[in-house]
Amino acid sequence: MTTQAVPEITYLLDLSAHGRIRTTGEDRARLIHALCTNHIQQLQPGQGAYAFFLTAQGRIISDVHILCFEDSLLIDLEPEAREAMMKHIDHYIIADDVTLEDETAHTFSFGLEGPATQAFLQRLSIPVPQQRESHLPWEDMAVAAIGATGYRIYGSATRKDEIWQRLQLAGAQVGNAHALRLKNFQPRYGEDITNKTLAQETALPHALHFQKGCYLGQEIVERIRSRTHVNRMLTGLEFPSGQAPEPGTPVLWNLTEIGKITSSHASHAIALLRVEHNQPGTELSAGGEPAIARPIAANP
C-alpha cells in the first residue's frame, strides 16, 4: 500500500487592519532614512527594508516594512502604531518636501504564508519576489516578499473581495495570523514589542544598519552595541504539553524567575527573558508547564 504525500497548505490572512502610510515628495527617502534604523536612501524601486522607528531614548515606536516605489515609500505597520507613527513622522516634517497619506481605509493587504506559497503564486501566474522585502507589480497591485515563507498582496479596497475569492478558489485556506506567527516565533508590535522595548531586545538584528549614518535614537543603539549585549531579549518558547500559559505568566529557570510571557497560542509562546538563560534548547518552565527555549524568527 502506498501513501500519498499531503500537499502543503498555503494560508490566507486578511491583514487589511494593518496601517499603510504612503510618503511622497522629493525629500521622502532622506526624512524616513533619518528617522528609522535601516538604510532607506539606498533603496531602489522594487526594493524594501524592515526597520524600527525609535524615540530619542531608543525605545521602539513601531516596527515597519518599508517598500520603495518609483514615486513613493509605503510603510506597512501594526494597527496599534498607525496613529502614533503618523504624528511622529509629521512632527519632523519642517521645510521638507514630504507628504503623508494614510491609505489604510481605501486599500487592502493580504498575507500568504507557508512553505508552498511560492509554488501557489506561480501556479496563478502571480509574480514572486525573490529578495526579502522586495516587491513586484501584479495587475494594478503589488506583491511583496515578507518573512521567511510569506508574501503580501497590496491593492485598492475596491478589489478586496474579488482577490480574496480568487485566492480561496485557488486553494488557499483562511489562517489564524496569531497562531501562525507564534508557530514561527515571530514577535509582534503591541504584544511582544512595545514602546518600552529597546531595539536589540527584539533579537531582530536585520532591522538595524550600523553604517547608515545618524538617525533618531542611534546613540542608544550604538551604546548598547559597544557593550555587546542587552540584559533581556525576546525568546521563543515551545511547550511539549501543548498548553502555553497566558501572557504575563512568569518564566522560571531552576525556580528563579527570568522573565514573562508576552504572547502565546497552543504549544508556542514568546517571552522577554534574561539573556543568561535564553539560549536555544534551554529547559525552562512557566505556569507549571515545562518549556524549551527557541530562537526568534529571523524574518518577521
pTM: 0.94
Q: Do 7 and 172 touch, CB atoms closer than 8 A?
A: no
Please tell me the predicted confidence (pLDDT) of residue 6.
45
Q: What is the DSSP string of 227-253?
A: HT--SEEEEEEE-TTS-PPPTT-EEEE
Please tell me the predicted confidence (pLDDT) of residue 11.
96
CA distance 41 to 32: 8
Q: Do 82 and 21 touch, CB atoms closer than 8 A?
A: yes
Q: Do 149 and 112 touch, CB atoms closer than 8 A?
A: no
Neighbours of 282 (CB within 10 A): 17
Domains of the chain with CATH codes? 11-182 (3.30.1360.120), 231-300 (2.40.30.110)
Please tell me the predicted confidence (pLDDT) of residue 229.
81
Q: Do 20 and 78 touch, CB atoms closer than 8 A?
A: no
Please tell me the predicted confidence (pLDDT) of residue 1.
42
| pLDDT surpassing 70 at residue 299 | no
Tell me the three cell numbers of residue 299. Answer: 524574518
pLDDT band at 197 (very low <50, low <70, confident <90, very high): very high
pLDDT band at 300 (very low <50, low <70, confident <90, very high): very low
pLDDT band at 3 (very low <50, low <70, confident <90, very high): very low
| pLDDT surpassing 80 at residue 4 | no
User: Tens digits of per-residue pLDDT, 216-272?
Assistant: 999 999 999 998 789 999 999 999 999 999 999 999 999 999 999 999 999 999 999
- Measured CA to CA in angstroms, residue 254 lies from 58, 282, 290 at distances of 33, 11, 11
Provide the pairing of β-strand 11-14 with 173-174.
Answer: parallel
Nearest CA to 132 out of 207, 42, 32 is that of: 207
